[in-house]
Structure 1
């Protein structure tokens, strides 16, 4: 029996970061809209990403500060970590966030929330939960998931990913993390602070190879200082069982001792949730990894179809997904030609202390120097920051890169106390396309971490 298509003005597949916001704007425009979600409203960020992991980071930080009580003049006694209570706190925060998003969606006028797995059956036509839906505007916000790498023995052992590890109600005895990714390093520190032994195994000879070497070294020093162990430059990673334990082979030489752990977390990358969508039937192109190809305004190769968020391969963060939504609605409804390439790269690594990163790396800047560009730079240890010394948080550094001719900021890295927040002052000046003197001549509040930004910019010298 062929089901007659139901006509909508807009269809949205996926209720992650960008989807509900697009639905809200469509509702405001008076469009009959359906938003389709196969899992939980809120997507990765709310359910298995930012919200739960930052709740865990907060618990881990509180535990670490309690252990450091003697530094601050008090004794908290023996610290007993109750992982079940930590998980319950996390689950409560997640549930509150998810309920808020779902209530918002269900309260939108002209909008229907449909539960089920959508797939294209023809151009501009989706099938979900026994219904066929068609619309002149379709927005794909289907996200991504953890890659399961092709490692010898991987199917013979139990492994965790960024989702399943959140279900643990006990602290692993020894967590082995395969992959020194941003996700992996956050879990490395938090689980170490909860009391687990932690070893990070990676193929690269250094952590986060896309970062500058001093940033990678600084991050490693922070984690090693807390007892996280590393087995890098591991080209022959394999998994096997040894009774109830998991053996992780990390070196090609057979005489190298393996790493034996109680749990293994796979953190080697992400893949888009585009398989099973029937994209070919809709004329939607993907790249070799399955990410949906989009133009500078998130349009796909099919007329009337946009792809936003992690599935388009143009950003793997909640803030890039949100910006995708802003770009789409600006072009569709506001006659405002915003573009993906207008945005400045920015992200954070939420270890403690955090890394805030914007714009170019020093490695990228040096490549431009080779083409004749003149650059300035400055770097300052966090030990110079009074607020950091007072807080007992002196690890890390600040550094900036500046175009010598225009005095425009090109990039910055702040690894240290509140680095993920402080870096926004620099980001905003970059976005405003203003010279560094806007900050270097400003009076900042004392005592703060941000007050060192003017001092840092007053010490610019040629990058050689």
Structure 2
């Protein structure tokens, strides 16, 4: 059979794909766009990332507040645990609530695509040439499709555990960021390999749910991208909550054991040298990186260059090395955030479908993010160490204030953390902002809006915010400038 032709083909249905597909159909007509998806509509964010993890984090937050009820003069039903007092946990109900919300998001996305007139084909796509794609679904013959433009949005997946001895351990005890959310019970003791964003989110969540948690990390601090003072404050909070964190270590091997409910043994040693140490666990979470889903695409046949790790190479307008082929989202490397993927869609929507408007690019775009430990860590712009390195000749000043100075935080008894801002001392320009504190992501977003509007820090210092709100802390922060 001759190939079926579309105006556009999108490989993968991540956060950028669905709105792009609908925009392409609006521009070129129903049936003009083919979306190829291997498993589920919505990509990592809806199915294995933001939506399910933050749903479960909310359960952990409720468990934390229930255990602290007496601090607020509220009685609650509690049960003793190795880490003190915690609420009674029904992991199967937490899991089902997560599944229900994921399913609602997923089916909603499917319905919007169908209504818009996007053609959806389930299967694995691969390039035959830059604008020719073959799609194979289990139990069906491979089909060939051609298009004027092809968009790669296949995302990433958790890296496989790179540990000698992993094959000797019960695979149900070796978890990644997807499988850990399908547990039907809280691990007795969870070992987390990796002290980055994913490892700390899951580690803190399951500590809240009652697990003993040990985190081992290669770096000398948690969250290696953050300023040292912020990372140290995060570490203090984790340890206050009963987590064990071992830093500056290298994993050596994994062993199978059967001792008092413990099934795995992780052996590690100081990276700088020293004797081996070990920790026993009922489960181990491998959260040391993600790999791009390009190994199944046959990118070479498509004339598409990838880097040494398999990420698709793109220019500032998301074009690959093959004419008419673009890449969006995590598969191209760089910041792996849902909102960055959505911004990739906005760039292509503007540049390809709105020819009268100025072209957009990824150059100098803002990259906000929030880490859903509790309290949250929100950040926008430059960290202090980045600002000092990038602008050695500028008058860099820093404002830093503990959350204990925030009235609303005191009233809610959520005073852990700090706020930190980096500014140009001569111009008053806000270069970066971090909030480790209650609703840190929301406070960060307020400062981001100020940065987008090119407001100086004095605008926030002198603003009239409602009292008592977290926002009014932005009045007082700047008085600590040094």
Match of 2:179 among 136, 160, 164: 164
Give the counterpart of 1:310 among 308, 317, 330. 330
1:424 is aligned, of 445, 450, 464, to 445
Deviations 1:231-260 (A, max 9, x none): 211124321111361100121678544101
Give matches, 1:240-279, under 5 Å: 240-243=255-258, 245-251=263-269, 256-279=276-299
Residue of structure 1 aligned with 2:359, choices 315, 334, 337: 337
Structure 2: 5+ residue stretches without partners: 79-86, 137-141
Residues of 1 paired with 2:467 and 2:26: CA distance?
44
Q: Secondary structure at the match of 1:310?
A: helix
Partner SS, residue 301 of structure 2: helix
Distance of 2:25 and 2:44 partners within structure 1: 23
Shift of 1:458: 4.1
Determine the structure 1 residue equivalent to 2:253: 238
Which residue is equivalent to 1:150? 162
After superposing the two structures, state which structure 1 stretch, 82-91 or 151-160, moved more. 151-160
Structure 1, unpaired ranges of 5+? none
Q: Within 5 A, what are the aligned runs for 1:14-413? A: 14-31=12-29, 32-78=32-78, 79-109=87-117, 111-129=118-136, 130-157=142-169, 158=171, 159-243=174-258, 245-251=263-269, 256-334=276-354, 335-369=357-391, 371-413=392-434
The 8 Å contact of residues 385 and 449 in structure 1, kept in 2 or not, is answered as yes
Cα displacement (A) at 1:314: 2.5
CA contact (8 A) 1:231 1:250 kept: no
Q: Map Cα deviations across residues 354-382 of structure 1 (whole Å, 9 max, x no partner).
A: 0001111111122135x311112111000
Distance 1:434 1:193, change over 3 A: same
Name the SS for the 2:119 alignment partner.
Answer: strand
- Between Structure 1 and Structure 2, the one with more strand by share is 2
Q: Deviations over 1:105-162 (max 9, x none)?
A: 11113x2011110000112000013211111111110000111242221222231100
TM-score, with length taken from structure 1: 0.96
Q: Distance in 1 between matches of 2:417 and 2:314?
A: 38
Question: Within 2, Cα distance between the matches of 1:441 and 1:137?
Answer: 50
CA-based RMSD: 1.4
Residues 397, 415 of structure 1: 8 Å contact kept: yes
Structure-2 separation of matches of 1:165 and 1:247? 18
| Mean Cα deviation higher: 235-244 or 414-423 | 235-244
**For 2:219, what is the secondary structure of its paired residue?**
coil
Aligned counterpart, 1:9: 7
